[in-house]
Structure 1
């Protein structure tokens, strides 16, 4: 009986360690991109405190850092992955994540909101809200970050 308990403990320990290693390996790219983007933005702007990070993949990849600058103003910094061009906005001149999600709920009536991320489409800053519809299919609702104007919907993926 003692051997069985030791065997189960070892097996359980290996499963837990394997799960931890798998999780770390699966998130290392995201974690590294976040750290590199924050450092890049801090070097080139007056970003002080970071509040959020978004990774957006459209026709191009954009990495977004939101936070406050040294003057305490809420800012959004959108970094183009290829080339490193930074586009910056005052958060007070944009719609909030909550507002973008509310607009998505009203327009699409999703079963579940998966996430919201900031990016750029054709030089227009956007909120991309991903969701699951009633058929458990993936959808995206995209609105202009500055005006809240609906730009496009991609549904039933």
Structure 2
């Protein structure tokens, strides 16, 4: 009886681990695909020899931000705007068929030397001097309009979830959002 319980427990545990891994892979695949697509698009415009990291940013538009090294050995950031697929309604036929097609618009690509802007540590020092921060959650690159920015995500002293935006180049204040937790 004890052997049956152990066998069933091992089988159930293996099943749960297998399903968890499968769910993770299914969820992560689209993210990796979008990152790979952004690297390919950036490679058509910029010559780089190494990609260190790719991060996602979603503001009014979505971007993949690539931390890379160009062919001359310079550290660079590449902002690649994600182009959404749109649905078109074909009304020329008797039936209204919905066809997916890629928007004809080209992905906007912005490239900056990392030395042209602030580092994450410099951004942290700026916001700690200007704001009352209980817990810093993240500092990441983003884009507002055509301006590269840092998005600082933190919890303030009144337990509000807050977002503070500074320009990448000078650290100038752009905007600030606060939400009750």
Q: Secondary structure of 1:129's match?
A: strand
Q: What residue number does 1:53 align with?
A: 54
Higher helix share: 1
CA drift of 1:64 comes to: 1.1
Asked if the contact 1:55/1:117 (under 8 Å) is kept, the reply is: no
CA RMSD of aligned residues (A): 1.8
Larger CA deviation: 139-148 vs 35-44: 35-44
CA drift of 1:41 comes to: 1.0
Q: What residue number does 1:44 align with?
A: 45
Q: What residue number does 1:11 align with?
A: 12
Q: What residue number does 2:34 align with?
A: 33
Q: What residue number does 2:3 align with?
A: 2
Distance 1:104 1:58 in 2: 20
Higher strand share: 2
Q: What residue number does 1:123 align with?
A: 146
Larger CA deviation: 13-22 vs 63-72: 13-22
Structure 1 pair 129–11 and aligned structure 2 pair: CA distance change class (3 A): same
- 2:170 pairs, out of 140, 143, 147, with 147
Asked if the contact 1:133/1:156 (under 8 Å) is kept, the reply is: no
Q: What residue number does 1:62 align with?
A: 63
Deviations 1:107-134 (A, max 9, x none): 3333333222222112111011222334
**1:112 and 2:107 correspond:** no
Structure 1 pair 76–107 and aligned structure 2 pair: CA distance change class (3 A): same
Distance 2:32 2:130 in 1: 33
Distance 2:32 2:158 in 1: 32
Moved segments of 4+, more than 6 Å: none
TM-score, normalised by the number of residues in structure 2: 0.78
Distance 1:105 1:26 in 2: 35
Q: Secondary structure of 2:133's match?
A: coil
Distance 1:136 1:10 in 2: 44
Asked if the contact 1:119/1:127 (under 8 Å) is kept, the reply is: yes
